[in-house]
Amino acid sequence: MNTPSIPPFTLCMRGQILSLETPKIMGILNITKDSFYDGGLFHELDSAFQQVEHMIGEGADIIDIGATSTRSGSPISNPDDEIKALLPIINFITKNHPQKYISIDTYHHSVAEAALESGAHLINDISGGLYDPKIFETTAQYKAPIILMHIQGTPETMQVQPNYKNLIQEVMLQLAQQTEKAIEAGIQDIIIDPGFGFGKTITHNFSLFQQLENFSIFKRPLLVGISRKSMIWKTLQTSAEQALTGTIALNMLALEKGAHILRVHDVKAAKETIAIYNALHQRPISTN
């Protein structure tokens, strides 16, 4: 396998510079009751705070907080409910871990605005700005980066017979179009996410993964989020709870194919994967 040359990207996280010279870890904090793997585990504030401490202790660079479920079949969320759930956790992190970066998993511009105003650094939009185009203007106003993910349909409909004439071309075209809109709105830092599991069959997911290095054409940081997803556990005929080994395997391949950020449930495993990758390529091994 030919490892693509990874440009030394940096992200301006609202005045702080995050170097992506070596890959970074985004720890997932789902505070909903029905997320596909850990739904309900961190719905209460005390358990959410404990999980933040746990992920930071294991080496997470970014905490990605999601207050709406985006699992298959989920309806569009209520932004007011999201804001109410998010703000106490944002305040906890900014007070106790001001050096850590906070990402907000939302597709509502009003949620993005409330979160950024409270100290969040990064917006992670599964719709890539398709559901609420005002999210671009809001993100630009706060000089924050945005993650643009590809999705076909909505969470409620995305797995109802997803279909593509040319998978890689259609995914790239949507991301290119949304990237252009984000740039026009004034966003400087854009991260690309191919959207594994969002409007894609297992075959689509693996075909997309096989061509992951082609996303270097965007000349933007690449985020890969395949942690414990059904493309792994259905292939292995197990469950999300038993999908850690498959996740580690694909995360290493993602790094080889040019990923800059791994979005994961299991921070320690991802940190060790990155350490082995760095050693293999004679890169500095972080001790944070």
The DSSP string of 180-245 is HHHHHHT---EEEE--TTSS--HHHHHHHHHTGGGGGGG-S-BEE--TT-HHHHHHHTS-GGG-HH
CA 62 to CA 25: how far, in whole Å? Answer: 6
Separation of alpha carbons 136 and 50, rounded Å: 32
Which residue in 263, 268, 271, 283 is the catalytic one? 263
The two tokens of residue 159 are: 């797995």
CA distances in angstroms from 113 to 76, 116, 281, listed in the order given: 18, 5, 40
**DSSP-based three-state secondary structure for 9:** coil
Is the CB of residue 136 less than 8 Å from the CB of residue 187? yes
- The single residue of 229, 234, 257, 271 carrying the catalytic annotation is 229
* 220 is annotated as an active-site residue: no
Quickly count: other Cβ atoms within 10 Å of residue 142's Cβ.
Answer: 16
Whether 263 sits among the annotated catalytic residues: the reply is yes
Query: Which residues are annotated as catalytic?
Result: 229, 263
